Structure 1
Amino acid sequence: MIRFIRYTAILATVWLASCTTVLEPKPVDLLVDNLVLNEPNDVEPARIGAYSALRGMAATNMMAGDFTADYIRHNGTFNDYRELGTKQITSSNGAPASLWSNLYRTIYVANFVLEKLPPISGVSAATKKQVLAEMRFLRGYANFIGANTFGDIPKVTTTDQGTNRNIPKTPKADILASVLEDFRAAETDLATIEAGSTAQVVNGTYANKITAQAMLARYYLYQKNWAQAEVYATRVIDAKVYSLETNFEDIVSKDFTRESILEVGYGLSDDPGTSNFGLTNLFVGRREVIPSDQVVVSLLSTESGTRRATVAFNSQNLQGDDNGWTMQKYGTADNDNNNIVLIRLAEMYLIRAEARAQQNKLTGTAGAIADLNVLRARAKAPNVSAANQAEAISAIERERVYELAFEGHRWFDLIRTGRLQAVMTAFSPNWKATYDRWPIPNGEIQRNPALKDAQNPGY
């Protein structure tokens, strides 16, 4: 039974479970079939279980966005990271398997709560409304990542094991339509947070109305609905619940900053630094991957300003093909920077800048350039200028590299802007057009008869 007494116990249990599923993630229908939600005392453990499931997908979500693209070089011995670093990805790679498993773990727990909570007596209407809205948000978030990473994926809407053992792919467009429905429902029912609320309320641990609005801004950006992307990014910024940190270095070195809208946390008892997918282990302990020369050059440029703190150089690492550079954003629990941020306020400025540029709103206080210069000012970098729309859009792409490096956006950005093939063929001779999607994990195809002969093209 998932009826834990302490939050830390839940996190530790989920992490220990995830260590055993690195190479062979559990099938969708067996993810969390021992959850209990029968009475009011069960609500909070089930709720936390859903966030713990989200937490399980955070590291490989980041890897999809940045390891698939041009931000890393392979520097170790693990085959999974050799494939990602050398751009020779196969359907047996453990990273897609881990992400898939945790995506569907999140969806399963969300569906479980959505099914079981409504009829329970003794739970206030306000609590039901908030928790059910959180489940809609979490399910929408998982499906959003799944559809943009794998393309067409199974649409899991129930906890029925018989149904979940044999689910075919649903077209990506239909998955994204369900994501929009979930996000809109979440925005309607999630708690409203006012400016000036305490840090404990808005530190990014649980979803609130602004969290849903932030994901709607990202959703509409990906859909090229520029007007709505601008509207929702503006709602998040103008709410003034979250604020940019004065020093960018704090984004690198601290957890739960003032601009963190959604963040998954780890403690001393469950720091993920020693697992195959532990970011500290990969970047620092084993140095399985190192920042690519291209991203290092970008981050060290004058235009990046203090964003150069994202990487650090150590001459003692200079051996073989090692360039001596290390990514700094994910440390250990002792360092107070081992969390993974999924959404932060700076992204909203970048979304609004891009949405405005695409609508040819370039100058003035409500223009794209003004939004970029807010981030430039924080980074102590020179103001940017653009003579036309094309220059503004190019500046925004560069700014997303400076600001969001190693937060899981790069591959998705290149895909949605149509720049993937040009950038990646220049980066690696092994790049194939089919790498615009990750492969469906082999184990899932073997377990789910409806996925037979449904592997993504090229794998």
Structure 2
Amino acid sequence: MKKLLSILTLSLFVFTSCNDVIDIEQPGTLLAENAFKTVEDLQLGVSGIYNRLDNTTQIRFNSVYTDELAIGDDSGGQNVTQYSLFLTPTSGMAATLWNGSYITLNQINKILVAAESIPVATGEQADYNNAIAELKAIRAYIHFMLTTYFTTDYTDDSALGVIALSTIPGLNEDLPRNTNGEVFAMIDADLTAAAAGLSNQSSRTFISRDFITALRARMAAYRGQYTAADGYAATLMANYSIANQTQFFNMWSDTDDTEIIFELERNVGDTYDRQATGGGGWAGSLFAFVNSTASGSPFMEMSRSLYNQLDAVAGDVRLARYIDPSSTISATPTTSTDDYLVTRKYPGHQSQPLMNDIKLFRTAEMLFIRAEAAADANNLGGAATYIKQLRDARFGAAQPLPTYASQQEAFAAILAERRLELAFEGHRWVDIKRLGARANVSIDRDPIDCTVFNACSLSNSDHRFTMPIPLGAIDVDAALVQNPGY
């Protein structure tokens, strides 16, 4: 970590694209106090931090490493290592998440320190406060994302979490992992400060109080604090409705935002207008090279097991949205080549195939959190009512009310519905990690998709449901402790 951060200090303000204030050439190192002189400079710095936010690595990992995807007929070997359930301290995905996150966190902390010396003129205080609030909310989000992947148990405050980075570390300083309790306390403090300073009440593309509420809802659910999680989710559901069939279909072409609480906007000509080859890009290019049709060179296809679950009852708009009409679908496939299940959850917009806004929080997730809270409280009928509410919307007609004989059945049904609803959004691995034991659910691929790779299942108790601390980080930080099993 100390070597990584010393490099970051030198390259801190090379943000990619639009921040002219960061590109000013000055003698010596471009320090934060030299780059940020005005509130306008501060706002440009915040824009640079927004530009670092991306979720394609998480989408790719959750989709490839579980039972959402299968290797496509047009594959040239992409993702085979991850699909084979290989995960070690040298794995690229672990390094991408860890290193990229700490680069951003260090940049945020540099800007926050520099902001303390910025003179705030009359009429600028609200803009200044809002910029600081945005930075702290993003810092909280990144710490929670890191914790999601690198701690063994979200519900254990004494378990090792990640490095809680709220200051600028010294060049020769070894930084240990903090406990989950310490990390969550810092996240909570950042979110409280952010909520007090934000000017935006609600915004789908900028940090707002609704973003903070959504993050608090997800974090509380992951920690098993379901009373709090249910309250946060209910607050959001009062303001963001569940999309109907037409709205849901159009949401994935970026022409409807009915249930989007927060998303990362993607536009032609921006930093992410490119193939997503390790550093962010078009979300749809995680599955295909050209477009989301059979002629668009799809190298990853929907898994047969996910397709079977979606196709179990006729009329589900999610099947119509997720599977392109050019797909080849066999009623009785015997090998992976019998099918051509072309995924089109990210078909593209602005005349750019495969490029879509990335949805980080939406109402459906809040409904699932309420269902989890009901199941946790052994209110099985309440959990069933929430699942029916979503299914009514996705089928466009009233669906049967499920019945669950136990909490395990309820959690299994919630996981099954989350698999359908949140496919290819970066949730599946995380969901099995946190709820798999309660639901008796593990990764379970169809034999058609996995036999050739000898990777058909992975128990929810396997150590690979926690990311390894990257070897490169451990090599330069003697205080870091590796996760069990690696």
Instruction: Indicate the TM-score class for this superposition, using the shorter chain for normalisation.
Output: 0.7 to 0.9
Give 1:93-104 correspondences, 5 Å limit.
93-104=91-102
Give 1:48-127 correspondences, 5 Å limit.
48-55=47-54, 58-75=55-72, 76-78=75-77, 81-122=79-120, 124-127=124-127
Contact 1:273 1:332 in 2 (8 A): no
| Structure 2 residue corresponding to 1:159, chosen from 165, 168, 186 | 168
- Residue aligned with 2:261, SS: strand
Deviation larger for 67-76 or 350-359:
67-76
- TM-superposed CA distance for 1:415, in Å, is 1.2
- TM-superposed CA distance for 1:249, in Å, is 0.8
What is the one-letter code of the residue matched to 2:65?
A: T
Determine the structure 1 residue equivalent to 2:277: 276
Give 1:148-187 correspondences, 5 Å limit.
148-151=148-151, 152-162=161-171, 166-187=174-195
Q: Deviations over 1:232-274 (max 9, x none)?
A: 1011112x2x333332212322267232212112221144442
Distance in 2 separating the partners of 1:398 and 1:304: 17
- Residue aligned with 1:54, SS: coil
TM-score, normalised relative to structure 1: 0.81
Distance in 2 separating the partners of 1:120 and 1:10: 17
Distance in 1 separating the partners of 2:484 and 2:193: 34
Give 1:35-46 correspondences, 5 Å limit.
36-46=35-45
TM-score, normalised relative to structure 2: 0.77
Determine the structure 2 residue equivalent to 1:294: 305
Structure 1 residues 112 and 244, CA, compared in 2 at 3 Å: closer, same or farther? farther
User: Any unmatched runs of 5+ in structure 2?
Assistant: 1-11, 24-28, 152-160, 290-296, 446-454
- TM-superposed CA distance for 1:143, in Å, is 0.8
Structure 1 residues 405 and 379, CA, compared in 2 at 3 Å: closer, same or farther? same
Structure 1 residues 255 and 147, CA, compared in 2 at 3 Å: closer, same or farther? farther
Distance in 2 separating the partners of 1:331 and 1:402: 18
Distance in 2 separating the partners of 1:61 and 1:101: 14
Answer yes or no: is 1:330 the counterpart of 2:346. Answer: yes
- Residue aligned with 2:36, SS: coil
Contact 1:68 1:87 in 2 (8 A): yes
What is the one-letter code of the residue matched to 1:284?
A: A
Contact 1:85 1:289 in 2 (8 A): no
Query: For the pair shown, which has the larger CA radius of gyration, 1 or 2?
Result: 2
Structure 1 residues 102 and 445, CA, compared in 2 at 3 Å: closer, same or farther? same
Structure 1 residues 172 and 313, CA, compared in 2 at 3 Å: closer, same or farther? farther
Determine the structure 2 residue equivalent to 1:141: 141
- Residue aligned with 2:147, SS: helix
Distance in 2 separating the partners of 1:341 and 1:218: 14
Identity value in percent: 25
What is the one-letter code of the residue matched to 2:411?
A: I
Q: Deviations over 1:54-110 (max 9, x none)?
A: 23xx1112233333322122343456x112211122332222222222211332232
Q: Deviations over 1:90-131 (max 9, x none)?
A: 332222222222211332232223222233112533223222
Distance in 2 separating the partners of 1:3 and 1:45: 13
Determine the structure 2 residue equivalent to 1:18: none
Distance in 2 separating the partners of 1:411 and 1:265: 24
Q: Deviations over 1:279-301 (max 9, x none)?
A: 32231115343222111212223
Contact 1:53 1:105 in 2 (8 A): no
- TM-superposed CA distance for 1:426, in Å, is 4.2
| Structure 2 residue corresponding to 1:446, chosen from 469, 475, 480 | 475
Determine the structure 1 residue equivalent to 2:205: 205
Q: How many residues align?
A: 422
Contact 1:88 1:430 in 2 (8 A): no
Determine the structure 1 residue equivalent to 2:386: 371
RMSD: 3.4
Structure 1 residues 104 and 249, CA, compared in 2 at 3 Å: closer, same or farther? same
Deviation larger for 328-337 or 207-216:
328-337
Structure 1 residues 416 and 34, CA, compared in 2 at 3 Å: closer, same or farther? farther
Structure 1 residues 10 and 160, CA, compared in 2 at 3 Å: closer, same or farther? same
Contact 2:98 2:470 in 1 (8 A): yes
Distance in 1 separating the partners of 2:144 and 2:131: 20
Give 1:7-18 correspondences, 5 Å limit.
9=18
Query: Which structure has greater helix proportion?
Result: 1
Contact 1:96 1:440 in 2 (8 A): yes
Structure 1 residues 389 and 450, CA, compared in 2 at 3 Å: closer, same or farther? same
Contact 1:252 1:330 in 2 (8 A): yes
- Residue aligned with 1:178, SS: helix
Determine the structure 2 residue equivalent to 1:385: 402
- Residue aligned with 1:341, SS: strand
- Residue aligned with 2:301, SS: strand
Answer yes or no: is 1:406 the counterpart of 2:424. Answer: yes
Distance in 2 separating the partners of 1:225 and 1:184: 18
- TM-superposed CA distance for 1:37, in Å, is 1.9
- Residue aligned with 2:51, SS: helix
Deviation larger for 322-331 or 258-267:
322-331
Distance in 1 separating the partners of 2:196 and 2:166: 21
